[in-house]
Amino acid sequence: MFFGHISNYNPKSYPSAIAFALDYLRGTDFNQLDAGVYELKGRSVFVQVLDLTTKKLEDFQPEVHRNYLDVQYLHCGKEIMACAVDTEQNPVAQVYDPERDIQFYQNVENEQILHCVAGSFAVFFPEDCHRTAVYDGTPTIRKVVVKIAMSEIK
């Protein structure tokens, strides 16, 4: 997992596909885009622009992906992102759905809390459980998630 702010990152510190996503996030005016899905490199790299209502942490189940990583970027508002290492020993709430590339756990051990402000980003790899859009003082947020196929990571 990586965590940072879009105003202060060094693209040379990241694999090229993640640096590409961060450059896209820094250079795009998401106030001008409608919520929806946008392809950057076909289905290998695509973007989800989301307008979300934040909820309590316990209202979300930890999730993991197997074939994509998430670059989660908070465009406006405040939220909590929670993350933990996927030990694959956590109790499963929903088995892996290959069409959606998602699996949910009932809970995870040693979860860490990240307090995010506009411009914060986190990169969640397949080995990272995560819960996002957790209430931290802002009832609605605009998030952008860049999904990168693991085959793009070199």
Predicted TM-score of the model (pTM): 0.96
* Sign (positive or negative) of CA dihedral 106, 147, 117, 50: negative
Phi and psi at residue 145, in whole multiples of 5°? -120, 120
Residue 97 has pLDDT above 90, yes or no: yes
Amino acid 88: pLDDT: 87
**pLDDT tens for each residue of 100-135:** 999 999 999 999 999 999 999 999 999 999 999 999
Cβ neighbours, 10 Å, residue 16: 12
Residue 57 β-bridge partners: none
Domain with 58 in it: 2-152
Count of structural domains, the chain: 1
CATH number of the structural domain spanning residue 118: 2.60.120.370
Percentage above 90 pLDDT, the chain: 99
